[in-house]
Amino acid sequence: MTDYAEFARLEREGWGDADIAGSYGARFAAATAQAAPSLAAAVTAAPGRAVLDLCCGPGPVSAVLVEQGARVTGLDFSAAMLAQARTRVPGATFVEGDAQAMPFADASFDAATCGFGLMHIPDQDRALAELRRVLRPGAPFAFTVWAPAGASPGFEVIAGALAKGDPSVALPPAPDFHRFADPATAEALLTAAGFHDVSLTPLDVRMPLARPGEFFEIMREGAVRIGMLIEAQPPAARPAVEAAFETGVRDWALANGVDPSAPFALPLPAVMVLARA
């Protein structure tokens, strides 16, 4: 297997950073929370059901699961994220731990969710094996990933803007960010991990923006992998990247009849994957 050790270190350090976690909770999660009702419905969150919310972050999915009466346990390795989740969702239990080695007994959950978390895990096969271990047989697991550039105006802007940066700036080796959005790949990876009944559903998610330039700020301050690619730009290259983010968002708005001088929402479509343990 490719060595993802450096990627693992950067992910853990990034999400553990109180500023990044705080910005994510205050701004980025306004988009991810839009997927939470679909995730809760897919796992039929209901009174008494024990649901694991993997990579819970500040708790947008846990909040909806609790509203529907489920007994919710959120797992995340970032203490800074968990502090937010405990304040926002007092009705859930939050546990600090790694998705690749979960601190739970076998067959202890009736269902699991993971909102935009799986792509951040270096050893996704191991995380899926852990999930199967802690889920009861037949339990549903629903998770979301971002649709890739080409199917996503938001990721088109990100890809176009980063392409204006220094070509030597690259991430350490990491699993492909969008791979679970591809039906054949999702089916193959989940089936290999012992899951069955795999299905994919597109979700309409949008990033609320007060102005075009806000997209760059949200990505720089509250997104670990994209934030890394922005922060690593040499000073001479950075203004071009920032300008391309803003121009890209403005151009999308103008091409789609949206007034960029008033608050609007940039499409950042997601894919929900559902499977059974």
User: Applying CB under 6 A, which residues contact ligand SAM?
Assistant: 11, 15, 29, 32, 55-57, 60-61, 76-78, 81, 98-100, 115-117, 120-121
Q: Output 174 or 258, the one with its CB closest to ligand SAM.
A: 174
Q: Which stretches within the chain are classed as H helix?
A: 5-16, 18-23, 29-32, 36-42, 60-67, 79-88, 124-134, 153-162, 183-192, 214-222, 224-231, 238-255
Q: Output 52 or 244, the one with its CB closest to ligand SAM.
A: 52
Burial class (CB in 10 A: 0-12, 13-18, 19+), 60: buried
Shortest Cβ 102–ligand SAM spacing (Å): 9
Q: Output 222 or 260, the one with its CB closest to ligand SAM.
A: 222
Residues 6+ apart with CB under 8 A from 185: 179
Report the Cα–Cα distance between both ends of the chain, in Å, rounded: 24
Shortest Cβ 212–ligand SAM spacing (Å): 23
Q: Output 131 or 244, the one with its CB closest to ligand SAM.
A: 131
Q: Output 120 or 178, the one with its CB closest to ligand SAM.
A: 120
Shortest Cβ 74–ligand SAM spacing (Å): 8
Q: Output 12 or 238, the one with its CB closest to ligand SAM.
A: 12
What does the alpha-carbon distance between residue 209 and residue 122 come to, in Å, rounded to a whole number? Answer: 31
Shortest Cβ 195–ligand SAM spacing (Å): 19
Burial class (CB in 10 A: 0-12, 13-18, 19+), 255: exposed
* Angle between helix 214-222 and helix 238-255 axes, rounded to 10 deg: 130
Shortest Cβ 129–ligand SAM spacing (Å): 13
Distances from the Cα of 88 to the Cαs of 49, 59, 206, in angstroms?
21, 7, 22
Q: Output 88 or 211, the one with its CB closest to ligand SAM.
A: 88
Shortest Cβ 253–ligand SAM spacing (Å): 24
Shortest Cβ 268–ligand SAM spacing (Å): 12
What does the alpha-carbon distance between residue 145 and residue 76 come to, in Å, rounded to a whole number? Answer: 17
Which residue, judged by CB position, is nearest to ligand SAM in the bound state? 57
Cα 25 off chain centre by:
12
